[in-house]
C-alpha cells in the first residue's frame, strides 16, 4: 500500500538549504541573501552592492517502494553585483558565483528544523548533486541588466537527489 509524503519535508528542506548556504557562504563572505518565499526584499537588501536570492523548487517526491522515497530538489541562486568605477573588482560577480558554486557542489544536510513536534534538529538525510549526464552544477551568466544600471547578474543552478526510508 502506498504511503504519503511527510508534510514536514518541504519545510525541513527549505530551512536546511537556507542554513547551509547562510553558514557556509553568505555570512562568512558578507553577501546579503534571501530565500524566495521565506524572506522579504527590503530596501537594505535591494540596495546592497552584492546580493543573492535562493530559489528552491520541490521537493518532487516519488515512492520507489513501500516507505522508500526518492526526493528531487532544484536550487537556483541568482547573484547580483553592482560594478561602479574602475577601482572596483570587475570580477566580483564571478568571485561570488564561484563561492556559491563551491558549496552548491557538496552534500546538503537536511535536518528537522523548527519548533513543532518532531522538529528536533536531527538529520533526516542529505541532498546530493544529481550525477546524470545533464545534471552538473551550472553557472549561468546573464551579464549587465541594461545600459543604464551598472548591475550584472549570474546564477548557480543545481539539481539534487535524496533517498529516504521512513
User: Domain for residue 2, yes or no?
Assistant: no
- Range of the structural domain that residue 57 is part of: 9-165
Total domains in the fold of the chain: 1
Residue 4: inside a domain: no
Across 137-160, average pLDDT? 90
Whole-prediction pTM: 0.92
Q: What is the pLDDT of residues 31-77, one digit of tens each?
A: 999 999 889 899 999 889 899 999 999 999 999 999 999 999 999 99
Task: Report the relative pairing of strands 68-82 and 108-111 from DSSP bridges.
Answer: unpaired
Cell 549526464 locates to 133
Q: Rounded distance, CA 74 to CA 116, Å?
A: 26
Does residue 1 sit within a domain?
Answer: no
95 exposure class (CB count in 10 Å sphere: 0-12, 13-18, 19+) = middle
Does residue 106 fall inside a structural domain? yes
Checking if the pLDDT of 157 tops 80, the result is: yes
C-alpha cell, 122: 536531527
* Residue 3 within any structural domain of the chain: no
Q: Is residue 117 part of a domain?
A: yes
Amino acid at each position: 500500500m502506498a504511503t504519503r509524503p511527510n508534510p514536514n519535508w518541504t519545510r525541513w528542506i527549505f530551512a536546511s538549504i537556507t542554513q547551509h548556504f547562510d553558514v557556509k557562504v553568505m555570512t562568512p563572505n558578507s553577501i546579503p541573501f534571501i530565500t524566495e518565499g521565506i524572506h522579504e526584499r527590503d530596501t537594505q537588501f535591494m540596495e546592497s552592492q552584492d546580493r543573492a536570492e535562493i530559489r528552491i523548487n520541490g521537493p518532487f517526491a516519488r515512492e520507489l517502494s513501500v516507505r522508500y522515497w526518492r526526493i528531487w530538489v532544484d536550487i537556483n541562486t541568482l547573484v547580483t553585483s553592482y560594478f561602479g568605477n574602475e577601482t572596483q573588482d570587475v570580477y566580483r560577480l564571478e568571485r561570488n558565483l564561484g563561492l556559491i558554486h563551491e558549496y552548491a557542489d557538496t552534500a546538503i544536510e537536511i535536518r528537522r528544523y523548527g519548533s513543532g513536534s518532531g522538529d528536533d534538529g536531527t538529520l533526516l538525510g542529505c541532498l546530493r548533486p544529481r550525477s546524470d549526464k545533464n545534471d552538473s552544477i551550472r553557472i549561468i551568466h546573464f551579464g549587465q541588466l541594461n545600459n543604464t544600471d551598472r548591475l550584472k547578474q549570474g546564477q548557480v543552478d543545481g539539481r539534487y537527489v535524496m533517498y529516504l526510508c521512513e
